[in-house]
Chain A
Amino acid sequence: MSASVPTATLHPPKRGAISIRGITRIFTGSTPAVDHVDLEIHAGEFFTLLGPSGCGKTTLLRMLAGFETPDEGKILISGKDMEDVPAHKRAVNTVFQSYALFPHLNVEQNIGFGLRMKGVKTPERKKRVNAVMEMMQIGQFATRSAAQLSGGQRQRVALARALVNEPDVVLLDEPLSALDAKLRSELQIELLRMQKRLGMTFIFVTHDQHEALVMSDRIGVMSQGRLEQVGPVLDVYEKPRNVFVAEFLGLSNIWPITPTGPHSAASPIGELGIAAPLNGASMAMIRPEKIWIYNDTAVPKDRANLFLGTVREAIYMGASTQYRIELAGGQSVLAFDTNNQAAERSWRPGEPVAVELKPDNIMLISP
Chain B
Amino acid sequence: MIPRGVRYALSGISWPLYALLYTPLALVAYYSFAPAPNEAGHSLHAYNLLLHDGDVFSALRRSLILAIGSAITSTALGTLLGYGLCRFRTPNAKGVLAHIPSLIIYTPIIMPSLVFGISELIFFNLVHNATGMLGAGLETMIIAHITFQVPYVALTVYARLAGLDRYLFDAANDLYANGLKSFLYLIIPLVQPAIIGGFMLGITLSIDDFTISFFTSGPGSVTLPIYIYGAIARKGISPEINAIGTLMIGTIILLALIHFFITRHRDRAGQFAARGSIS
B-contacting residues of A (Cβ < 8 Å)?
Answer: 27-29, 62, 65-67, 86-89, 92-94, 96-104, 113-114, 116-118, 145-148, 154, 161, 165, 178
Cα A7 to Cα B275 in complex, Å, equals 53
**27 A/B residue pairs, CB under 8 Å, sorted by A:** A27-B92, A29-B92, A65-B170, A65-B174, A66-B173, A67-B173, A88-B177, A88-B178, A92-B174, A96-B170, A96-B171, A97-B167, A100-B277, A102-B172, A102-B186, A103-B190, A103-B277, A104-B189, A113-B177, A114-B176, A117-B172, A117-B181, A147-B273, A148-B272, A154-B276, A165-B175, A165-B176
With a cutoff of 8 Å between Cβ atoms, the chain B residues found around residue A118 in the complex are: 176
Q: Is B174 a contact of A94 with CB atoms below 8 Å? A: yes
B243-279 interface bits toward A, Cβ cutoff 8 Å, 1 = contact, 0 = none? 0000000000000000000000000010111011111
- Does B57 interact with chain A (Cβ within 8 Å)? no
Q: Is A98 a contact of B92 with CB atoms below 8 Å? A: no
With a cutoff of 8 Å between Cβ atoms, the chain A residues found around residue B170 in the complex are: 62, 65, 67, 87, 94, 96, 100
Closest beta carbon of chain A to B13's beta carbon, Å: 40
Closest beta carbon of chain B to A120's beta carbon, Å: 10
6 more A-B contacts (CB under 8 A) besides A92-B174, A98-B167? Answer: A67-B173, A87-B170, A96-B167, A96-B171, A97-B167, A117-B175
Closest beta carbon of chain B to A252's beta carbon, Å: 33
Given A98-B165, A98-B277, A88-B174 contact (CB < 8 Å): yes
Which residues of B in the span 136-185 have a Cβ within 8 Å of any Cβ on A? 164-165, 167-168, 170-178, 181, 185
Cα A300 to Cα B165 in complex, Å, equals 62
With a cutoff of 8 Å between Cβ atoms, the chain B residues found around residue A66 in the complex are: 173-174
Which residues of B in the span 14-71 have a Cβ within 8 Å of any Cβ on A? none
> In the complex, which of the residues B92, B168, B185 contacts A117, with contact meaning CB atoms closer than 8 Å?
B185
Closest beta carbon of chain A to B56's beta carbon, Å: 44
Among residues of B, the one whose C-beta sits closest to the C-beta of A96 is B167
With a cutoff of 8 Å between Cβ atoms, the chain B residues found around residue A103 in the complex are: 164, 168, 190, 269, 272-273, 276-277
Cα A178 to Cα B171 in complex, Å, equals 18
Q: Is A147 a contact of B185 with CB atoms below 8 Å? A: no
With a cutoff of 8 Å between Cβ atoms, the chain B residues found around residue A88 in the complex are: 173-178, 181
A-contacting residues of B (Cβ < 8 Å)?
Answer: 92, 164-165, 167-168, 170-178, 181, 185-186, 189-190, 269, 271-273, 275-279
Q: Is B176 a contact of A100 with CB atoms below 8 Å? A: no
Q: Is B92 a contact of A101 with CB atoms below 8 Å? A: no
Closest beta carbon of chain A to B79's beta carbon, Å: 16
Q: Is B92 a contact of A100 with CB atoms below 8 Å? A: no
Given A29-B92, A98-B165, A113-B175 contact (CB < 8 Å): yes
Closest beta carbon of chain B to A169's beta carbon, Å: 12
Q: Is B272 a contact of A147 with CB atoms below 8 Å? A: yes
Among residues of A, the one whose C-beta sits closest to the C-beta of B177 is A117
With a cutoff of 8 Å between Cβ atoms, the chain A residues found around residue B189 in the complex are: 104
Given A29-B92, A103-B190, A117-B181, A98-B176 contact (CB < 8 Å): no
With a cutoff of 8 Å between Cβ atoms, the chain A residues found around residue B167 in the complex are: 96-98, 100
Q: Is B173 a contact of A100 with CB atoms below 8 Å? A: no
Closest beta carbon of chain A to B228's beta carbon, Å: 43
Cα A65 to Cα B174 in complex, Å, equals 7
Cα A99 to Cα B174 in complex, Å, equals 12
Cα A154 to Cα B174 in complex, Å, equals 18
Closest beta carbon of chain A to B97's beta carbon, Å: 12
With a cutoff of 8 Å between Cβ atoms, the chain A residues found around residue B174 in the complex are: 65-67, 87-88, 92-94, 114
Closest beta carbon of chain A to B91's beta carbon, Å: 9
Q: Is B168 a contact of A145 with CB atoms below 8 Å? A: no
Q: Is A145 a contact of B278 with CB atoms below 8 Å? A: no
Cα A221 to Cα B174 in complex, Å, equals 26
Given A27-B92, A147-B272, A102-B176 contact (CB < 8 Å): no
Among residues of A, the one whose C-beta sits closest to the C-beta of B178 is A88
With a cutoff of 8 Å between Cβ atoms, the chain A residues found around residue B269 in the complex are: 103-104
Cα A88 to Cα B177 in complex, Å, equals 6
Cα A147 to Cα B273 in complex, Å, equals 7
